[in-house]
Structures are given as structure tokens and as C-alpha cells.
Amino acid sequence: MNLLKENGFQFCPKCGSERLFFQIKNLYCKSCGFVYYQNTAVGVGVIISRHAKIPKDSKISEISKDSEPAKSVKSTQELLLVVRAREPALGYYDLPGGFVDPGENLEQALLREVTEELGREIYAKLSRPKYLLSADNHYRYKDNTYAVCDVFFRAELEGEAELIPADDVESFVWCPADEIDFERIAFPSAKTALQLWLQKQH
């Protein structure tokens, strides 16, 4: 599949000719010889976990500062999921992260994206992010489809941190690891990362 053809390229970006030849991963202009590649974009994401103690047989959302002390508690791992503020997948859950900008390495992009989406405080409270996996993804934006390689890391929140949703993030939720609704996860690559993270816990 040639994404350039699928995205509706009809004219040469250099000379305007319609004499285009679409190859597997590029287009070639028969008039001026221009070759254009739509290379795979790179994205980064991170699975942030924390340990929490909650009353047995009670959901996280039911706990507040005014809750009565629990007689019986269980320890669980919670994962930070963000709610997307825009398309694609508006309103669906996602992992903190985004695209790598020109001149950035993966770690720099992850720092920038987490800071933009959740504020400066959280990154300082994270353990050093560790590589988890990479996964193929297709990102549909404004009638164009982009091939993406998403690279995922994992990290633990060490201590309390104020989270301030911004940029692409509408809000966030701490979800018990065993209660993730995979039907509400925005992208297949994020689902793959979460599934591998869960497998590594057993």
C-alpha cells in the first residue's frame, strides 16, 4: 500500500506535473525526476505505574479524602491513562506521549511530551524510563494516513506529583492494572504495549 497515493497525491510537489509513478514507499515524477518519500514517523509513549492501597471490593473512584478508614485493604498497581482532547480518537484513553520532533532523540521527546501534557512536576518524580517495545501504528489525521513506529517505555511514579492536563490531554485517570478497558484504548500500538506490560507482571 502506498500511503501517498491513498492520501490523494495527484501532482508533483516540485513541478506540478500529473505524471506521477507511485512505488511502494515513494512517488516519482516522470516529468522532472523528483522523488518524494513519506517515511515512517516516530512516536514515543510511556506506561506510568504507581502502587496504591485500596479497600477490598471497592473501586478506586469510590475513594476520597473523606472516606472512612478501611478495615481491609489490598495493594494494587495503577496505570496512568490520559483522555484524548482531539481527533483522532477524541475521548478515548491513551498513554502519555507523542511524536518525535526533528533534532530530538527518544528520551528528549518523551520528556517534552510528558511535560507538555501533564506538567513539569511528574517527570521529576518518575523512575528512569526503561524501554518496553516498539509497535507499528497508522495515524489518521485530517484525511491523511501516516505510518508510525511507536516506541514505548515504562516508568514508576515515585512519590506524589501534581498532574496538569494540557495540550492533547483533556483529563487523566489512574486505572487499576487489572481493570483496563481495552475497547477504550485509542490505538492498537498502545494496546500492544499495555498487554506486554501486564504479561511482565506475572
Q: pLDDT tens, 18-66? A: 999 888 788 899 999 999 888 899 999 999 999 876 555 545 443 333 4
pLDDT given for residue 66 in this prediction: 42
pTM confidence score = 0.82
74: in domain: yes
pLDDT given for residue 67 in this prediction: 40
Question: What CATH number is attached to the domain comprising 111?
Answer: 3.90.79.10
- Determine how β-strand 41-55 pairs with β-strand 144-156: parallel
141: in domain: no
Domain total of the chain = 2
142: in domain: no
Cβ distance 99 to 109 under 8 Å?
yes
Q: pLDDT tens, 94-112? A: 999 999 999 999 999 999 9
- Taking CA atoms, 5 is separated from 22, 27, 91, 115, 122, in Å, by 7, 8, 30, 36, 42
Task: Looking at the structure, tell me whether residues 11 and 55 fall in a common domain.
Answer: no
50: in domain: yes
CB within 8 A of 84, min separation 6: which ones?
A: 90, 91, 92, 93, 94, 168, 169, 170, 186
Task: Looking at the structure, tell me whether residues 115 and 78 fall in a common domain.
Answer: yes
Q: What percent of the chain clears pLDDT 70, i.e. is strictly above it?
A: 87
CA angle 197, 202, 131 (to 5 degrees): 30
Task: Looking at the structure, tell me whether residues 30 and 124 fall in a common domain.
Answer: no
pLDDT given for residue 75 in this prediction: 54
Task: Looking at the structure, tell me whether residues 26 and 110 fall in a common domain.
Answer: no
Range of the domain at 123: 42-63+70-136+148-199
